Amino acid sequence: MNIKVKKATFFYGKRCIFNNINFELNEGEMLTILGPNGVGKTTLIKCLLGFSQLNQGNIFFDNKLYKDINKKIFWKKISYVPQIKEFNFSYDVKSMIMLGRNPYIGFMKMPEKNDHYEVEKIIELFNLEKIKNKSMNNLSGGEKQMVLIARAMVSNPEMMIIDEPELNLDISNQDKIFKILNKLIKNKKVSCIINTHNPINVIKYSDLSILMKKDLSYYYGKTNEVLNIDNITDVFELSKDYFKKIKDKIFLEV
């Protein structure tokens, strides 16, 4: 699925959250959104999904305006993983993942053989066999995050939009998630938009990046061109010595 965003602008009251944002993402590509807290990364994602409305600008999916798209078809093609909030889950892991098949199962209908097959396949992919019968309430934050991403994938979407997929995950599982996403994107030509705080995962896996600044400007383009030391220090208001100190600390003092 292709997405084009043209001149996207959003106000919260009289305060402009982001202004005149333009980008395009094609099938088989990953785009990551980075920036300090408060620059509107999650708000931008909500606008892409129609949860919030732009004050100016347009969003196109496969060259169709969002407002003109059949929403039932739209939600068959798109999977969304929000940030985990503090709330209780009454499902076990397998049942939670099965919810991702709802666009195909239909209202008040039971899962069919193929739905169970797709769920078991995803459980194996994420190595969740040992916890598939456990209650979501008894999982760690990282385990819950893995399950929610698995739920999003089980619908075989054309596009995935994920708000901070590495939240609550250790470094190893962060890399695992991005590897799985990258494989899905390249093999099945899925497009993926991710809000993240971790430039390391972005550099390793992302095709395109948006760096959003507090002054409403932004950098956009190929990740290997956008995520350079000059841009990162500018956006996150860091000194260039910060990177040298990290490099020296990791590689010289070990």
Written as six digits, the tokens of 179 are 């590897």
Give the span between the Cα atoms of 230 and 90, in whole angstroms. 47
> How many other C-beta atoms lie within 10 A of the C-beta of residue 173?
18
How confident is the model at residue 251, as a pLDDT?
Answer: 47
Question: Are the C-beta atoms of residues 185 and 168 closer than 8 Å to each other?
Answer: no
How confident is the model at residue 254, as a pLDDT?
Answer: 38
Q: Is 12 exposed, middle or buried (0-12, 13-18, 19+ CB in 10 A)?
A: exposed
3-state DSSP call for residue 172? Answer: helix
The alpha-carbon radius of gyration of the chain (Å, integer) is 19
How confident is the model at residue 250, as a pLDDT?
Answer: 47
How confident is the model at residue 198, as a pLDDT?
Answer: 82
How confident is the model at residue 238, as a pLDDT?
Answer: 82
> Along the 254 residues of the chain, how does pLDDT read in single tens digits?
999 999 999 999 999 999 999 999 999 999 999 999 999 999 999 999 999 999 999 999 999 999 899 988 898 899 999 887 665 678 999 999 999 998 888 777 899 999 999 999 999 989 999 999 999 989 888 888 889 999 999 999 999 999 988 877 888 888 888 988 898 888 889 999 999 988 888 999 999 999 999 999 999 999 999 999 899 989 988 877 766 665 555 444 43
Angle between helices 241-252 and 229-236 (to 10 degrees): 110
> In terms of C-beta distances under 8 Å and separation of at least 24 residues, what long-range contacts does 46-49 make, across chains too?
47/8, 47/10, 48/3, 48/5, 48/161, 48/193, 49/78, 49/80, 49/161
Q: Is 187 exposed, middle or buried (0-12, 13-18, 19+ CB in 10 A)?
A: exposed
How confident is the model at residue 244, as a pLDDT?
Answer: 63
Written as six digits, the tokens of 195 are 């809000």
Sheet holding 15-25, edge to edge: 15-25, 3-12, 56-61, 64-65
pLDDT tens for 184-216 read: 888 889 999 999 988 888 999 999 999 999 999
Written as six digits, the tokens of 32 are 């990551």
Where would I find the H helices in the chain? 41-48, 71-77, 93-98, 102-105, 113-125, 141-153, 171-188, 199-205, 223-226, 229-236, 241-252
How confident is the model at residue 85, as a pLDDT?
Answer: 66
Give the span between the Cα atoms of 52 and 12, in whole angstroms. 10
> How many other C-beta atoms lie within 10 A of the C-beta of residue 214?
14
pLDDT tens for 94-110 read: 999 999 998 888 777 89
